[in-house]
Structure 1
Amino acid sequence: MTASTLSTPPTTCAAAPHLQVTWTDPVTGRQGFVVVDRLVRGVASGGLRMRDGCTLDEVRGLAAGMTRKEALHYDPANRYVPLGGAKGGIDVSPHDPEARAVLGRFLEAVRFLLRHHWTTGEDLGLRQDTLDEIIAELGLDSSIEAIYPLLDDAAQARRRLADAFALDVDGVALPELVGGLGVAESALTALDHLGAPRGSARAVIQGFGSMGGATARYLARAGVTVVGLADAHGVITNPGGLDVERLLLTRDPHGGIDRSQLGKGDVEAPQDAWLDIDCEILVPAAVSYCITPDNQSRITARVIAEAANMPTLAEAEAALHARGVLVLPDFVANSATNAWWWWTLFGDVEADAEQADGKVRSSMRRLTTIMLDDAQRLGVTPRRAALDAVDRKLSEIDARFDRAGQHPEGGSSDAEQ
């Protein structure tokens, strides 16, 4: 692979990923990374992000998180069998004039993984339509073509997914809603666990893109008062409640709130003020590592639902847990987008918004309830309880499929040769 290095970590380390790729752009010197944490039936799943400062360690952590998201949704009754976990990242700002060209060269460099082992999609800093355009320019069929050999009827499955992507729910595309619906359902389940009434609960969401925007919509529709929204330009707050639908339908493609649409009583505040607003539910939905040991004491929420990947540092989570705050880990709370893609592709749900809504809600409520009940029973954090559930699910998958990454027909994975 031109201008890249591949490293397969020692198999003696249980936590080591299956494969790591570090690529250096021959034009700009920017680096990109792919980490395959685990293969199941020769394939792993995980999005591709673009951000200035992205590192291999970051991508490695995200890939491990994808293994957990996939495993948690394993149900032998489903047609969808969870894949392994993977992630990609490029150290470039999506606003850099060279970003698209760097992305194209990166995808060309990892073409083999895309065709055979890594299914990917949009993530932080990268839209799916941009990814699809470049994939087509490179002559690749799709960003998820590695999964096609696992489908009974790939053509029919692709039509079903395309039809689902074309669905609109009250002015917003269905694929932009399912992830936030899952986050909202997880947070609402936590409120119920605490015995806190939804009608008197308040929520603050940091980030108003597809994940944060949809979370705000479904919390508001459940009766929760959304009192704060943060975007890249600052915070909008209103103790009486923000008009989520108006702001949602007038935001820009990057999740920016149109300040001309602010209502009576809406107030602008500095960018980090989202941490200080009194609320019962706090949803970090924008960036990683934003809740730290230094700022966690400012949080008044009883529930933190991690819509972003890795937003809470471990020391901060320990301090929050010590004062009774439920931190719903990212690999549980924000797992619905990934699961919905595969439920639709494999045929567990049709291209139908009501079916998607029902499947997401029931699955997220079940997973969150199990996690919180186990955490309470064992006296551990929700994250620890969820990790134990992941271990159980991985053992079930291992018992059904070859852990070494074999393809279903029994041939060895090319990545291991």
Structure 2
Amino acid sequence: MAAYLEVTWVDPVTGTTGFLVIDRLVRGVSSGGLRMRAGCTLDEVRGLAAGMTLKEALHYDSTGRYVPLGGAKGGIDFDPYDRNAREILGRYLTAMRALIERHWTMGEDFGLRQDTIDDVLGEMGMGSSIQAVYPLLDNEKQARDRLAAAFGVKVDGVPLDELVGGYGVAEATLAALPAKDGPVRAVVQGFGSMGGATARYLAAAGVLVVGIADRHGVVANPAGLDVENLLRHRDPLGGIDRMGLRPGDTTLPLDDWLAVPAEVLVPAAVSYCVDETNCDRVAAQVIVEAANLPVTAAAERSLAARGVTIIPDFLANSATNAWWWWTLFGDIEPTAESAFGKIRQRMRALVAATLARPGTPRAAALALAAQNLDRIAVRFPS
């Protein structure tokens, strides 16, 4: 099925290219984040938008107040570390303003932080990156107050919104683990909001996080890294200060992240990082896709033939998106307890339902999403 809308934008000042793909609208609205990275392409954004449609659909509950939206995604082909990144972001958002106001609810993705997006939109005179959904709410003020309260919650000094996605990935991982005597080892690629929270909650559950990859390389310790210590030495975009490493921690070249001995691999940073050229180096039995599209289709076929279980991205990393809408629509309270309880229940149930079906986890999750999309289409015909 073709995307509903595709937009290619060229920055009039620098020539930088950006994209927006609305894969599907439900009740006139779509949902999906905005990323910024050098090398971002229309094909990438198109795939991410289709994935958002699936991510939304998986959480459909006919008894809930939240009805999943359509899928969308934005992307800017630019280095987020460049000093001109904020100005380019501002011009992109200005160009997309009409769609943001009416059809595209948007949040942070790779290379961008929500507070940066909110600040730029505020400078433009816009109140929210998700204002397109407001007409669907029963009581907009109560809903916005509820979401604002949730964004004000901190857990051990960390904002709740920076934890829910990684908590969901951790719960999906725990549900997918094979039976094993002794501790389970995990490697996490990426140490931003998603990767950092995933590592935190895996470690809290007793998993040995033996490797973490950031843009500088790999930090490893076969006895298990002190994740909380590394979080204290992390910059805003997930880089680890090597001066904060502890005895027993070692550093490895970035390319070695796949080969660190572990049962679980969690790619939580960039797309297409596991492909047919390096998938033979994967040492893990389970891959949980915290990033969007981290494993190419060819690599997934090769890994599946080896018996590697891959929990697909549109399931594994769906908790952030769902938490926003559960909170806004009133399916959960704006508390950490309510958020974590709902996420744990839904992620474990989805992984269990996926692994119980024949075929690969991706095929099973796609079938579940397709069933829900049909139900949503019947309930809200376009």
Instruction: Using structure 1 for the length normalisation, give the TM-score.
Output: 0.90
User: 1:60-84 CA deviation, whole Å, 9 max, x = no partner?
Assistant: 0000000000000000111111000
Cα distance, 1:343 vs structure 2: 0.5
Q: Distance in 2 between matches of 1:95 and 1:261?
A: 22
Contact 1:180 1:215 in 2 (8 A): yes
Equivalent in the alignment of 2:223: 240
- Between 1:209-218 and 1:169-178, the stretch displaced more is 169-178
Q: How does 1:249-264 map to 2 (within 5 A)?
A: 249-264=232-247
Q: CA RMSD in A?
A: 1.0
Shift of 1:258: 2.0
1:360 aligns with 2:346: no
Aligned partner of 1:136: which letter? G
Aligned partner of residue 311 in structure 1, secondary structure: coil
Aligned equivalent of 2:316: 333
Alignment match, 1:139 = 125
Alignment match, 1:322: 305
Instruction: Give 1:262 deviation, angstroms.
Output: 1.1
Shift in Å, 1:138: 1.0
Aligned partner of residue 118 in structure 2, secondary structure: helix
Match of 1:196 in 2: 180
Q: SS in structure 1 opposite 2:21?
A: strand
- Please, which runs of 5 or more residues in structure 2 have no aligned partner? none
Cα separation, 2, equivalents of 1:155 and 1:72: 28
Amino acid at match of 2:91: R
Match of 2:4 in 1: 18
Deviation at 1:207, TM superposition (A): 0.5
What letter is aligned with 2:361?
P
What letter matches 1:325 in structure 2?
V
Secondary structure of the structure 1 residue equivalent to 2:134: helix
Q: Is the 8 A contact 1:172 1:249 kept in 2?
A: no
Gaps of 5+ in 1: 1-14, 405-417
The answer as to 2:374 corresponding to 1:401 is no
How far the C-alpha of 1:249 sits from its partner, in A, is 2.6
Aligned to 2:60, which of 74, 96, 107? 74
Structure 1 runs, 4 residues or longer, greater than 4 Å off: none
**In the TM superposition, what are the counterparts of 1:154-233 in structure 2 within 5 Å?**
154-191=140-177, 194-196=178-180, 199-233=182-216
In the aligned structure 2, how far is the partner of 1:144 from the partner of 1:171?
25
Deviations 1:209-239 (A, max 9, x none): 0000111011111111110011111111000
Partner residue, 1:343:
326
Q: What is the Cα deviation at residue 345 of structure 1?
A: 0.6
Structure 1 residue 93 corresponds to structure 2 residue 79: yes
1:36 deviates by 0.3
Q: CA deviation at 1:25?
A: 1.1
Q: 2:289 aligns with which of 280, 283, 306?
A: 306
Matches within 5 A, 1:31-50: 31-50=17-36
1:278 is aligned to 2:264? no
Partner of 1:411: none
Mean Cα displacement is larger for which, 113-122 or 290-299? Answer: 290-299
Partners of 1:360 and 1:323 lie apart in 2 by 31
| Counterpart code for 2:163 | L
**CA–CA distance in structure 1, aligned partners of residues 59 and 192 of structure 2:** 24
Name the counterpart of 1:386. Answer: 365
C-alpha change, 1:274 and 1:312, in structure 2 (3 Å) is same
Q: Could you tell me which amino acid in structure 2 is paired with residue 195 of structure 1?
A: A
Query: 2-side partners of 1:259 and 1:56: how far apart?
Result: 36
Q: Provide the secondary structure at the position in 1 that maps to 2:14.
A: coil
Structure 1 CA distance, aligned partners of 2:377 and 2:278? 40
Cα drift, residue 97 of structure 1: 2.3
Q: Bigger radius of gyration, 1 or 2?
A: 1
Instruction: Give the conservation status (yes or no) of the 8 Å contact 1:171–1:249.
Output: no
Task: Indicate whether 1:57 and 2:43 are aligned.
Answer: yes
Distance 1:242 1:24 in 2: 43
Q: Distance in 2 between matches of 1:82 and 1:44?
A: 9
CA distance in 1, matches of 2:87, 2:278: 38
2:138 equivalent in structure 1: 152
